[in-house]
Amino acid sequence: MVWDLKGVIAVIKGIVTFIPGITKFIQKTSGATIGSTSARYCYSVWLRHLIIANKNGFIEHPKIVAELGPGDSLGIGFAALISGADKYYGLDVIEFANNESNEEMFDDLVELFVKKTPIPDANEFPRLKPLLDSYEFPNYIFDDNYLEIILSKDRIDKIRSSIIPASNNEMDYIPIKYIVPWDDEKVILKNSVDMIISQAVLEHVNDIEDSYVAMHKWLKPNGFMSHEIDFKCHRIFSNWDCHWTCSDFIWKLIVGKRKYLLNRYSYSVHVNSLQKAGFKIICDIKNKSESTIKRKNLAKNFIKMPDDDMTTSEALILATPTD
Ligand SMILES: C[S@@+](CC[C@H](N)C(=O)[O-])C[C@H]1O[C@@H](n2cnc3c(N)ncnc32)[C@H](O)[C@@H]1O
């Protein structure tokens, strides 16, 4: 392992999680977002995925949307509903999102659509990927007729009243299902979903193979999934790729008793898993970073990592079922 002070602190922090009661505190207080409590972040993430899907031939507005790992808010789901979806599933393993800020988040998102606000770019969210060629509001996806329909007062009021917890019980229209924890693929009906989205999530998912299999079951044959995956070490070390130098034992100490930290799967592992689950890749947008480690320093499990993985720090993967 290539040690640095941050790595040593990470090991100590991991060991501390073995003290009863501490894990929940550490996991909850470390939060679960790089910005999802902000409406502008959720708007930007949603539109970035939608635009890339649209450019790759998925031009229908998705009606049923599922998101893995919404994190600190359901804002991406609200953006999907405002955009024309009828149903949104948010699946997480820890309940980070709270209802208190739902109304404010929803109203802010509606305003962003009403004003056809340009998509917040790297100046506002420097770490946010994927990048786009243009951050103009996508009029070609939301023409005026369509905007008039989706932003009609009746429709917006109906969605809004369904997200206010107090009124939820009496509602027959419940467009949002926030399922935590989700540990069974049966939480969503087979062949029912048009789009699955995740942002900075699949690098945390422990059982990636089963998760891709579940996603394959949920998607309609002509549906698609769009995942932005961050392969970096999430600042556990000073250099972005040092997590690949840790032995399994050291990594186990760093993870400690947390429900999840990072699965350390590199780009090609995701590609193999999703292909095995029955997907084909339509488009991938890789973000490249210079490797800071030598191949000989890679831990045993990673020693055969392809050269391309060693410099792939993030990727957007858009895929669809093959069968
Ligand atoms: C870094 S946060 C990203 C949150 C949000 N998508 C965003 O863009 O800010 C990672 C999220 O993935 C969730 N997560 C981890 N393992 C998961 C799993 N197996 N299934 C669904 N979500 C998972 C975490 O609980 C957390 O909400």
Q: Is the CB of 71 under 6 A from ligand 1?
A: yes
Residue 261, ligand 1, Cβ within 6 A: no
pLDDT (mean) for 2-6: 78
Tell me, in angstroms, the distance from the centre of ligand 1 to residue 175's CA. 21
Q: Tell how far the Cα of 86 is from the centroid of ligand 1, in angstroms.
A: 23
Report CA(201)–ligand 1 centroid distance (Å).
4
How many other CB atoms are there within 10 angstroms of residue 188's CB atom?
23
Q: Which amino acid is at 40?
A: R
Q: What is the pLDDT of residues 174-203, one digit of tens each?
A: 799 999 999 899 999 999 999 999 999 999
Residue 95 lies in a domain: yes
- Determine if ligand 1 sits within 6 Å of the CB of residue 96: yes
- Ligand 1, atom 24, lies closest to the CA of 69
CB atoms within 10 A of CB 94: 16
- Whether 225 is in the pocket of ligand 1, judged by its Cβ within 6 Å, is no
* pLDDT of 219 higher than 90: yes
pLDDT of 222 above 50 = yes
242: confidence class by pLDDT, cuts 50, 70, 90:
very high
Q: What is the pLDDT of residue 167?
A: 46
Q: For residue 90, is it within any domain?
A: yes
What is each CA distance from 302 to 265, 271, 296, in whole angstroms? 9, 16, 10
Q: Domain range holding 96?
A: 31-231+266-321
Q: What is the pLDDT of residues 25-36, one digit of tens each?
A: 666 665 566 678
* Residue 20 placed within a domain: no
Instruction: Determine, yes or no, domain membership for 18.
Output: no
Q: At what angle do helices 267-276 and 208-218 cross, to 10 degrees?
A: 50
Whether residue 5 lies inside any domain: the answer is no
Buried/exposed 245-281: b ≥16 CB within 10 Å, e otherwise: bbeeebbebbbbbbeebbbbbbbebbbebbeebbbee
CB of 245 within 6 A of ligand 1: the answer is no
Closest C-alpha residue for ligand 1 atom 7: 33
Task: Classify residue 1: in a domain, yes or no.
Answer: no
pLDDT digits (tens, 9 = 90+) for 55-79: 999 999 999 999 999 999 999 999 9
Amino acid type, 169? N
Give the CATH number, domain containing residue 279: 3.40.50.150
Q: How many A from CA of 149 to the centre of ligand 1?
A: 32
- Residues contacting 316, CB < 8 A, separation 6+: 49, 52, 129, 130, 226, 227, 228, 229, 283, 284, 285
**pLDDT by residue (tens digit) across 83-129?**
999 999 999 999 888 777 889 999 999 999 999 999 999 999 999 99
- Coil vs helix vs strand at 266: coil
Query: Is residue 23 a part of any domain in this protein?
Result: no
- β-strand pairing of 193-199 with 219-230: parallel
Domain count along the chain:
1
CA-to-CA dists, residue 102 to 147, 160, 176, 233, 303, angstroms: 22, 9, 12, 31, 46
Please indicate, yes or no, if residue 260 is contained in any of the structural domains: no
